[in-house]
Amino acid sequence: MEFKQVQTKKVAEVIREELEAMIRQGDLKPGERLDSVEKLSQQFKVSRSAVREALSALRAVGLITIRQGEGTFVNKFDFSELVAPVAEAFISKQEVLELFQVRKMLESGAARISAKERTEEQLAEIRQALEEMNQAEDNHDLGQQADVRLHLAIAKSTGNTLLQELMQQMAETIGKTMYESRRIALFGDSKQFHLLQEEHEAIVQAIEARDPERAEQAMLEHLMRVEDGMMLYSE
């Protein structure tokens, strides 16, 4: 009999999940200001760096806003019914499959349009997210955040408002699957992590070259490989 290795959760991930649950349940309401990092670290009995990492993860998926000099505030939590079935804390294998079906349709098309419509400023935003991903090999949370930002930046660069809204609504659930795929890559074989980076680089290069066909294909191949990896791991 074969057993899967057990992966323990990082402190920052536990804090993130706790704060996210409080937002979902209404214990933390839209517009409410969170306690300071120092106070939260005291309440959770963890380091301030762990709290900052948890807050960064929540900001990456749009649950909070961090205003310099003012504090951290809870955003309105209102996912449409379109994404409600997959917006739970845990999604099943079938829901992962359905999510990837939607992502392959939306994001391959988004990459194609981005290659034709993106501005230099938008390309710089996409490049910045990619660079942050490249620097986060040993940090699941930061890598996942940059991964989400990259895919959202590509959607934004299409100029299609509805597409941007759909991607933003799906961002939390996409972020969860991205986190898992990056953790699987790092936990299993470092070569897999670098393959993920190469796939993202291929997408961005095609967008930069204004090559719609290549951008669409690169995005589709990337999503298909990540999907296959997650399905294999969950068996």
Residue 185 has pLDDT above 60, yes or no: no
* Pairwise pLDDT comparison (72 vs 85), residue with the higher score: 72
Amino acid in the structure at residue 3: F
Residues 6+ apart with CB under 8 A from 18: 44
Question: What confidence category does residue 195 fall into, taking pLDDT thresholds of 50, 70 and 90?
Answer: confident
* Pairwise pLDDT comparison (107 vs 84), residue with the higher score: 107
Residue 122 has pLDDT above 70, yes or no: yes
Question: What confidence category does residue 6 fall into, taking pLDDT thresholds of 50, 70 and 90?
Answer: very low
Looking at residue 21, its pLDDT comes to: 83
Q: Do the Cβ atoms of 87 and 172 come closer than 8 Å?
A: yes
Average pLDDT score over the chain: 80
Looking at residue 80, its pLDDT comes to: 45
Residue 223 has pLDDT above 60, yes or no: yes
- Residue 230: Cβ-neighbour burial (10 angstroms; 0-12, 13-18, 19+): middle
> Per mean pLDDT, which range of 85-89, 131-135, 186-190 is the poorest?
85-89
Among 15, 7, 9, 8, residue whose Cα is nearest residue 46: 15
Residue 1 has pLDDT above 80, yes or no: no
Q: Do the Cβ atoms of 232 and 120 come closer than 8 Å?
A: no
* Pairwise pLDDT comparison (180 vs 107), residue with the higher score: 107
> Per mean pLDDT, which range of 53-57, 79-83, 148-152, 211-215 is the poorest?
79-83
Q: Which residues pair with 74 in a beta bridge?
A: 64
Q: Do the Cβ atoms of 70 and 108 come closer than 8 Å?
A: no
**Phi, psi angle pair for 114, to nearest 5°:** -55, -40
> Per mean pLDDT, which range of 46-50, 58-62, 151-155 is the poorest?
58-62
Domains of the chain plus CATH, in order, are 11-74 (1.10.10.10), 84-234 (1.20.120.530)
Question: Token pair of 35, please?
Answer: 């306690």
Residue 234 has pLDDT above 60, yes or no: no
DSSP states of the chain: ---PPP-PPPHHHHHHHHHHHHHHHTSS-TTPBPPPHHHHHHHHTS-HHHHHHHHHHHHHTTSEEEETTTEEEEPP----TTTGGG-SSS--HHHHHHHHHHHHHHHHHHHHHHHHH--HHHHHHHHHHHHHHHT-TT-HHHHHHHHHHHHHHHHHTTT-HHHHHHHHHHHHHHHHHHHHHHHHHHHH-HHHHHHHHHHHHHHHHHHHTT-HHHHHHHHHHHHHHHHHHHHHHH-
* Averaged pLDDT for residues 139-164: 84
Residue 14 has pLDDT above 60, yes or no: yes
Looking at residue 183, its pLDDT comes to: 59
> Per mean pLDDT, which range of 100-104, 208-212, 215-219 is the poorest?
100-104
Looking at residue 37, its pLDDT comes to: 92
* Pairwise pLDDT comparison (180 vs 70), residue with the higher score: 70
Q: Do the Cβ atoms of 112 and 214 come closer than 8 Å?
A: no
Q: Do the Cβ atoms of 169 and 75 come closer than 8 Å?
A: no
